[in-house]
Structure 1
Amino acid sequence: MSQISESFFPSIRKDEFLPLFKSFIFFFFVLASWYALRPVRNEMAIEGGIFNLPYILLAIVIVMGLINPIYSWVVSKIKTSRIVIYCYSFFILNLILFLLCWSFFGEQGRQWTGRAFYVWCNVYSFFVVSIFWVTVINYFNTSDAKRVFGVISAGGSLGAFFGSTTARYFSSEICGKSSISDLGPISLIFFSIACLFIAILVSRSLTSSPANNNKAVEEDEVVGGSSIEAFTNIIKNVPVRLMALYILLWTGLSTAAWMISLTIIQDWSSDPCERTAFFAQIEQIVTPLTLIMQIFFTSYLLRKIGIIPILTLYGIFLLIAFGTYATYPTITAVLVLTVLIRVFEYGLNKPTRETVFTSLSKQDRYKSTVMMDTFVARTGDYFGGQSVTLLTVFGLAIGSVAYAALPIAVLLSIVGYKAAKASKI
């Protein structure tokens, strides 16, 4: 029994318990902040008159591309211990500005505020999470990451649940209201600001903690380098380039799979309430399964089978998904495959990618990983969605679109294998 317990629950050293606990709490409040904002984003999108999402996705990609050099320049100039303070404080000021704009602008100004907020939220969600991991991966080496990153990810899952639960609490204020100045949305935005502020405080406590014995955290050092270093390193650095290609492929394929599944869902039911209930059912299944994976199995699988099978599996899962959608396009298939892919992503693949990032140089950890998680990932989303749209416009049935994605899924597995080998973990 003790051997099983030690296998699934690796021992935590005394010197790393506090950084682990604070990382857990840090991620909890980061995701609580974002998940509370999601319904406000959707409300602003509706009031802002956002109907042509492909153009919005393109705008998100462009904004990501513009922000990354600015972020890299800031990171090059400030001490690493202040990155979270500067970046998160910037986002808090943004939230306050959006509240002021929405409260004092006229109808046309509110529409543009809604459009801007929708784009901003997508930038926000990726940057705050990526900056969190940029901070945390400096406290654990690769071996430690395999043991603790699953537990840290569980903190994020619990925070997401807390944030979405808070949003549901105020849902009666959001639904049926026409103004962001109503109590519900304002409360959610202030709640999000409070969570982000707590995350800043926890991060400060984390940076003042004793460094992990295996990997010193240099709090007073400046990362250095140039503002375009993240772009150039993706071209020059083989491990970084392979991970960027891996992220581009899986985000594109995941978006394509989701769009195909939406078509299947639409054919299954024309009742919005029934479809909403189905989406809620997916969330109810994914959340507990992801927590179980993160707490009980992520560490075990990372230590026992390593990163190569895990990074390779994504392509295999998506290959199965597209093959099933092409031959057996049913609502049951959508339910099972969506749950499988999402639990795999949040419970295993994301912690594995962050484990790979611990082996990168300081410049790549602070710059390239953020670019991959923001600009590269959003670019993959855009091209995945546009590919499905274009293929259907040219007359391909949705089943044929699924077949067309199969070779790309195979390529994803190949790239995942090469990226894992190149990391030399």
Structure 2
Amino acid sequence: MPQAPPTAGRFHHLRGALREFPALLWSFLYFFFLLTGYYVLRPVRDAMAAANDPSAVFPVAMVDWFAARGIALGDYQLQVLFTGTFLAMVVLQPIYGALVSRYPRRLFLPVVYLAFIACLLGFRFAFEAGLPGRGGLFFVWVAVFNLFAVSVFWSFMADIYTDPQAKRLYGFIAAGGTVGGLLGPEITTRLVGLLGVGNLLLVSAGFLALCLVCILRLAPWARAREQAAGLRSGDEAMGGGILEGLRRIATDPLLRAFAVLMFFGVGVGTLLYNEQNAIVRAMTLGNPAAAEEATAFFSMIDKSINWLVLLLQVFVTRAVLTRWGVAPLLVGPALLILAGFCVLWASPLPMLVAVVQVGTRASEFALAKPARETIYTRVDREARYKAKAAIDTVVYRGGDLSFAWLYKPLSAFGSSVVFGAGVLVAGGFLYGAWRLVREQARLPAQPKG
């Protein structure tokens, strides 16, 4: 008898999971709509960051103020943008902490997304009116939006699914985001010339509105899981201090391990991103069509990453999580990234930079992130919403800020020095993965509250 192809088994698992967990479809759609909306914006953001004209990114008065003091703002473009992003995260973290402390889930989740939609409408006006400084502000906002919106998404998923369910289903759910990551850049590539950047922001806002529909449809499953496990209802205000998340990171070994992993993981990505950005700026210098070419290049990178992520999520993530748990998906990508930086240290060719960038981000999205998110199903609500948000935003952007500024003096000595330092950063990433594997093994199967 002929054997069914491997893909048939994967789709059989998916059909079975949909019958057993109807919430899976809405979870898939939620992440699909969210990342489609984000990836419509991402190529625009990246093209702005790579612009050779700082007056297209920062207000003219800011450029002139630095020039009057002998500082070419364009030489520190990414560093200034990352600094602005980190400061925005520091300001917004206590606001988010107050929101999740004082309001129940049924209120604060929609409020977060409605605020993002309102911001997109404001940016649409800014782009249509050609307001100065819109590029830098948009870069900072997209970074804030991505981290908060995705962090809130996975916190909500941890309210709905138990740890065994997460190991079976998070690969499929993450694939919804990957499909959105493929569609978003395609929308931007095909429509940016027809609609313009301003109207693309309305397209993204429409996808975020669909996220709100999914949140409303998924709420009953979150309540049912909490009632079945005897957990505190998410329809009650969480309470606690607005900076409780940061305090928990400082005192909890598991959360500290999460923070170490995040900090050094961001470090390897930031060094790669800065080097890739420098390559694109050199390629497009003096080219009148530079913005369009840069946008197309970044769209190509994003599509390559997301196709690879989709293949891994369909064929690898679920199988490894259910059979061996989180350890291979946390330690394996860290080892591969360390090997990639060793190769770049020896031979820092532009094409190899792009290849390692694709491999680094693909292993993060397809393997390491689903593994990390399953661990949050076994911790309490304050860790899921407050500490997790602090790790995903403040620690994340603190790593961005640190390594963006570190890149600047390193780059003066050439790419080999950048990637030599990257080998050490990748070693820190591997250490964080090892610590997290050790600490999560001590967790109970169910959260305490």
Selected match of 1:171 from 189, 192, 198:
192
The equivalences for 1:238-257 within 5 A come to 238-257=253-272
CA contact (8 A) 2:266 2:400 kept: yes
CA distance in 2, matches of 1:329, 1:267: 15
How do residues 189-268 of structure 1 correspond to structure 2 at under 5 angstroms?
189-209=201-221, 211-212=224-225, 218-261=233-276
Cα deviation for residue 211 of structure 1 reads 2.8
Further displaced range: 248-257 or 161-170: 161-170
Mapped partners of 2:305, 2:409: distance in 1: 31
Offset, 1:53: 2.2
Shift in CA distance, 112/308, structure 1 to aligned 2, threshold 3 Å? same
21-30 vs 31-40, which moves further = 31-40
Give per-residue Cα distances to partners, 1:298-350, cap 9 Å, x unaligned.
10011222212322223322221221111122344334322322221111111
Return 5+ residue gaps in structure 2 as ranges. 59-73, 444-449
Question: Aligned runs of 1:257-336 on 2, under 5 Å?
Answer: 257-261=272-276, 281-336=300-355
1:231 and 1:368 in contact (8 A); partners too: yes
- Which has the higher mean CA deviation after the structures are superposed, 227-236 or 95-104? 95-104
How far is the alpha carbon of 1:262 from its aligned partner?
Answer: 5.2
Q: Cα distance 1:313–1:261, how it changes in 2: closer, same or farther (>3 A)?
A: farther
Matches of 1:142 and 1:204, distance apart in 2: 23
Distance 2:127 2:297 in 1: 33
Task: Give CA-to-partner distance per residue, 1:208-229, whole Å, 9 cap, x none.
Answer: 2473497577342222111000
**Which runs of 5 or more structure 1 residues have no equivalent in the other structure?**
174-182
Q: Which one-letter code corresponds to 1:204 in the other structure? A: L
The 5 A counterparts of 1:21-420 are 21-41=25-45, 48-50=56-58, 51=74, 52-102=77-127, 110-173=131-194, 183-209=195-221, 211-212=224-225, 218-261=233-276, 281-393=300-412, 396-420=413-437
Distance 1:159 1:423, change over 3 A: same
C-alpha distance in 2, partners of 1:49/1:97? 17
CA change 1:263–1:328 in 2 (3 A) is: farther
Alpha-carbon separation, structure 2, partners of 1:44 and 1:260: 16
The match for 1:180 is: none
Residue aligned with 1:290, SS:
helix
* Length, aligned pairs only: 410
Seen in structure 2, the aligned counterparts of structure 1 residues 153 and 43 have a Cα distance that, compared at 3 Å, is same
Amino acid at match of 2:382: Q
| Preserved contact between residue 150 and residue 294 of structure 1 (Cα < 8 Å) | yes
* SS of alignment partner, residue 227 of structure 1: coil
Q: Flag the 1:262–1:320 CA change in 2: closer, same or farther, 3 A.
A: farther
Structure 1 residue 92 displacement after superposition: 1.4
Equivalent position amino acid for 1:55 in 2: V
**C-alpha separation in 2, matches of 1:65 and 1:320:** 33
Give the match's secondary structure for 1:220: coil
Task: Give, in whole Å, the separation in 2 of the partners of 1:373 and 1:9.
Answer: 34
Q: CA RMSD in A?
A: 3.0
For residues 242-294 of structure 1, give each alpha carbon's deviation from its aligned partner in whole angstroms, at most 9, with x where no partner exists.
Answer: 10111011101221133345567788998869887765554443222211111
Provide the secondary structure at the position in 2 that maps to 1:222. coil
Query: Conserved in 2, the CA contact under 8 Å of 1:245 and 1:415?
Result: yes
